[in-house]
Amino acid sequence: MTTKKQDDNQAGITQEGRFYSAERLHAMHDMMLYIRRFEEKAGQMYGLKKIGGFCHLCNGQEAVCVGMEEATEPTDYMMTSYRDHGHILARGTDGVAVMAELLGREGGVVGGKGGSMHMFDKSKNFAGGNGIVGEQVPIGTGFAFASKYRDDKRVSITIMGDGGVNQGAVYESFNMAALWKLPVVFVIENNQYAMGTSLSRASAETHLYKRGISFKVPGIQVDGMDVLEVERKMTEALEHARSGQGPIIVEMMTYRYRGHSMSDPATYRTRDEVDEWRSGRDPIVRLQKQMVEAGLATESEFKQKDKDIKKEIVAVAKAAEAQPEPELSKLWDDILTDEIPNAYPYPRQVG
């Protein structure tokens, strides 16, 4: 684990007894802002019909992506649902490859075969990118099983939504993970809605961190709009799992600013509610304020930074768009098919 020790002369912020250097704070800030601008660009490209299908943005949830990543080791496993752009970017995957995937291009993270919902990067131990709600939860438990089996101290960070948490397999996973003391941190991104269904309309127990009680899986609730709190609590949770104490649930209280996907006008929420989170609790603004107050940065520096990042994102989109679509022969790669000779008008050339 990267231990960040306090150096008396070093500039930074101490929160709840934990020190964050200016350099580290800037890195967290920049990544959150990068994700925000990346998602905005993705939204734009969707509007221009350059991205198709379902596209779920994570605007508002950046502190969860970045704070978690700050706490993990690169060797830890991570997997999530279809709302995956922010997580894979925070893990360090190249923005061009992510954007190219969104555009269905050859250089996409999975060669253009997956699109928005299926981001995978094995080199970063990022295992998706799963389109079926709850699907990644038993899978994440399996990664933890492999870790325990090999005793290599890797933790599986298995992320789900407040809607996904209602799938039966989630509880089967909680039980197995607790029974066998598997090193898994079950992260619940509680953004208050599953599509148009608010938490209280879908869950009898709305304190989701308590969902593990009958399986003896402890749970904690975290302000997911505060990147430092996310980092801190996630570090504790990872320690719990890594030290052999078994699984733990981390409920991240957060909010998605946009609709569920690009086709959702999100009329089920009031303007006031969205504003309350957006202007009152925004994770990027919050960190900026903290840093300005601590004398680590100025507002004009942040303005410049934003300009730079926006420029970078424009370049990312350009580079991705310049790529060709995958070659047609790729249709038949990476899949077991027992070829049926002459099955199609022109076998294996298709059409």
Partner 1 sequence: MSKITYREALNQAMCQEMERDDRVFLMGEEVAEYNGAYKVSQGMLDKFGPRRVIDTPITELGFAGLGVGAAMAGLRPVIEFMTWNFAILAADQIVNAAAKMKYMTGGQYDCPMVFRGAGGAAARVSSQHSQAFENWYANIPGLKVVMPSNPADAKGLLAASIRDNDTVIFIENEINYGDIGEVPEGEYIIPLGKADIKRVGKDITLIAHSRMTGYALLAAEELAKQGIDAEVVDPRTIRPLDEATILASVAKTNRAVVIEEGWRFAGIGAEISARIMEKAFDDLDAPVARVTGKDVPMPYAANLENYALPSVAEIVEAARVVCNRA
Check binding of 281 to ligand TPP (CB under 6 A): no
Contacts of residue 273, Cβ cutoff 8 Å, sequence gap at least 6: none
Binding at 38: pick from partner 1, Mg ion, ligand TPP, none (beta carbon under 5-8 Å per type): none
Q: What are phi and psi of 223, to 5 degrees?
A: -75, 100
Task: For tokens 């969902």, name the residue.
Answer: 211
SS3 203: coil
Closest approach of Mg ion to the CB of residue 332, in Å? 37
Q: Which two tokens stand for residue 95?
A: 């923005």
Closest approach of partner 1 to the CB of residue 70, in Å? 30
Check binding of 133 to partner 1 (CB under 8 A): yes
Check binding of 131 to ligand TPP (CB under 6 A): yes
Closest approach of ligand TPP to the CB of residue 261, in Å? 8
Contacts of residue 126, Cβ cutoff 8 Å, sequence gap at least 6: 78, 79, 87, 88, 91, 93, 119, 120
Check binding of 328 to ligand TPP (CB under 6 A): no
Binding track, positions 168-207, relative to Mg ion; x by CB under 5 A: -----------------------x--x-------------
Check binding of 162 to Mg ion (CB under 5 A): yes
Closest approach of partner 1 to the CB of residue 30, in Å? 29
With beta carbons less than 8 A apart as the criterion, state whether 116 and 77 touch. Answer: no
C-alpha count within 13 angstroms, C-beta hemisphere, residue 248: 20
Check binding of 162 to ligand TPP (CB under 6 A): yes
Distance CA 225, CA 206 (A): 19
Q: What are phi and psi of 75, to 5 degrees?
A: -85, -10
Contacts of residue 258, Cβ cutoff 8 Å, sequence gap at least 6: 39, 43, 57, 59, 60, 266
Closest approach of ligand TPP to the CB of residue 169, in Å? 10
Binding at 83: pick from partner 1, ligand TPP, Mg ion, none (beta carbon under 5-8 Å per type): ligand TPP
Distance CA 216, CA 193 (A): 26
Among residues 18, 118, 242, 269, the one that binds partner 1 under rule CB under 8 A = 118
Q: For every residue of 69-116, which 3-state class applies, written as one string?
A: HHHCCCCCEEEECCCCHHHHHHHCCCHHHHHHHHHCCCCCCCCCCCCC
Check binding of 139 to ligand TPP (CB under 6 A): no
Check binding of 85 to ligand TPP (CB under 6 A): no
Distance CA 105, CA 127 (A): 20
Longest dimension (CA), the chain: 74
Residue nearest to ligand TPP (CB): 161
Closest approach of Mg ion to the CB of residue 222, in Å? 15
Check binding of 47 to partner 1 (CB under 8 A): no
Check binding of 83 to ligand TPP (CB under 6 A): yes
Is 169 or 285 the residue whose CB approaches partner 1 more closely?
169
Check binding of 191 to ligand TPP (CB under 6 A): yes
Distance CA 349, CA 258 (A): 41
SS3 252: strand
Closest approach of partner 1 to the CB of residue 257, in Å? 19
Check binding of 168 to partner 1 (CB under 8 A): yes
Check binding of 269 to partner 1 (CB under 8 A): no
Is 201 or 311 the residue whose CB approaches partner 1 more closely?
201
Distance CA 187, CA 185 (A): 6
Check binding of 252 to ligand TPP (CB under 6 A): no
Residues forming contacts to ligand TPP in the complex (CB under 6 A) are: 81, 83, 131-133, 161-164, 189, 191, 193-195, 260
Residues forming contacts to partner 1 in the complex (CB under 8 A) are: 52-54, 101, 104-105, 108, 112-115, 117-118, 130-134, 163-164, 166-168, 194-197, 201-203, 268, 325-326, 328, 330-332, 335, 337-338, 340, 343-345, 350-351
